[in-house]
């Protein structure tokens, strides 16, 4: 690693630690085996016990993050489906009005044709005082019949469109109802996981909470150090795009605001709420959830990432942060924490995606 980048990174991380910025661990790591929940005791817990608590909390908050992604995705799809239903309803109303108009025109054409009489053309020609007038009239009748035929065909197409709109609206309604059920289940899951984590933390003594915070900081620092020691920063030299700079500016302006699951500002954020709003402020719309950001956005090698890119964490893409440069990220970590700066390697990286080209 170049000494200049190492110096910048060391300085940045030292400042971050001084402000307890790096004390915030990632949303989740690989799920450990279940550990017994400690019970309140006058005897301080051992380091081994606290480490088990830390891993248990990581698991609970990881599961809460996964459920939050499911909730956000269900909410996003519900909004899209609702908009589609409204659009289809508008098409149905306009189509019905068009069909009524066509029926009126077809009825008028049929009445005019009926008034023309049922005599054969030969008889009408013989009875006519003016053959030219008869021929002109016959031509108009043929034109009218052709127009009526076209009118009936248009009525058929309009009727078919109305039936398709109705089927599409019914289908979207079923999806909307299914999405609402998924959203409700995800919401329940989020609350259960957060409540379990808060209960676990509430059973710790004040001194144990301080020691736990130190263990979390040490785990994050260890992971970040290993990431830096890999020489990854030697390969990273990309400069932010104009939009990337705007996204970074927005995201860093939110530092200190509380994490809230399902929130996308302006006062609180969850991890993907922060990144999606930052890029929206930069003029680029991106998917709402970290998992969809991972699926839909262009992927770039870690060594090619630049400020503004999004780093996706954990094997299930359950967390996302924005890269700032010099080995640092800004993110909304988890419930009970605030938007903060941390080491990019302090959590297991799945990959990097780029919202702009």
Active site amino acids: 271, 319, 331
Express the helix, strand and coil content of the chain in percent, nearest 5 each.
Answer: 65, 10, 25
Burial of 63 (0-12, 13-18, 19+ CB in 10 A): buried
Q: Give me the residues paired with residue 285 across strands.
A: none
- Closest-CA residue to 54 (of 200, 193, 260, 205): 200
CA distance linking residue 166 with residue 27, whole number of Å: 44
φ/ψ of residue 26, rounded to 5: -70, 170
H/E element, 341: strand 340-343
Q: Which tokens is 321 given?
A: 């942060």
C-alpha dihedral over 210, 211, 213, 219, to 10 degrees?
A: 170
């Amino acid at each position: 690693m170049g000494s200049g980048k190492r110096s910048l990174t060391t300085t940045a991380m030292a400042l971050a630690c001084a402000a307890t910025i790096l004390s915030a661990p990632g949303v989740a790591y690989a799920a450990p085996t279940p550990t017994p929940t400690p019970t309140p005791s006058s005897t301080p817990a051992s380091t081994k016990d606290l480490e088990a608590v830390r891993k248990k909390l990581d698991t609970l908050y990881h599961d809460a993050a996964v459920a939050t992604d499911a909730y956000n995705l269900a909410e996003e799809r519900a909004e899209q489906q609702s908009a589609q239903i409204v659009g289809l309803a508008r098409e149905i109303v306009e189509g019905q009005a068009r069909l009524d108009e066509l029926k009126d025109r077809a009825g008028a054409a049929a009445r005019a044709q009926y008034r023309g009489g049922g005599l054969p053309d030969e008889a009408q020609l013989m009875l006519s005082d003016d053959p030219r007038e008869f021929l002109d009239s016959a031509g108009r009748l043929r034109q009218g019949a052709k127009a009526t035929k076209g009118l009936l065909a248009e009525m058929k197409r309009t009727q078919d469109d109305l039936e398709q709109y109705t089927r599409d609206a019914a289908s979207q309604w079923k999806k909307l109802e299914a999405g609402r059920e998924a959203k409700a289940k995800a919401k329940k899951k989020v609350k259960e996981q957060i409540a379990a984590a808060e209960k676990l933390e509430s059973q710790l003594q004040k001194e144990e909470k301080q020691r736990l915070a130190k263990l979390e900081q040490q785990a994050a620092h260890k992971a970040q150090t290993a990431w830096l020691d890999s020489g990854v920063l030697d390969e990273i030299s990309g400069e932010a795009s104009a939009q990337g700079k705007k996204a970074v500016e927005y995201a860093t302006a939110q530092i200190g605001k509380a994490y809230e699951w399902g929130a996308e500002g302006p006062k609180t954020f969850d991890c993907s709420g922060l990144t999606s709003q930052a890029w929206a402020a930069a003029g680029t719309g991106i998917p709402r959830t970290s998992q969809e950001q991972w699926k839909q956005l262009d992927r770039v090698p870690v060594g090619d990432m630049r400020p503004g890119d999004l780093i996706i964490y954990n094997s299930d893409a359950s967390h996302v942060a924005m890269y700032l440069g010099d080995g640092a990220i800004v993110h909304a970590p988890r419930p009970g924490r605030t938007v903060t700066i941390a080491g990019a390697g302090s959590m297991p990286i799945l990959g990097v995606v780029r919202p702009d080209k």
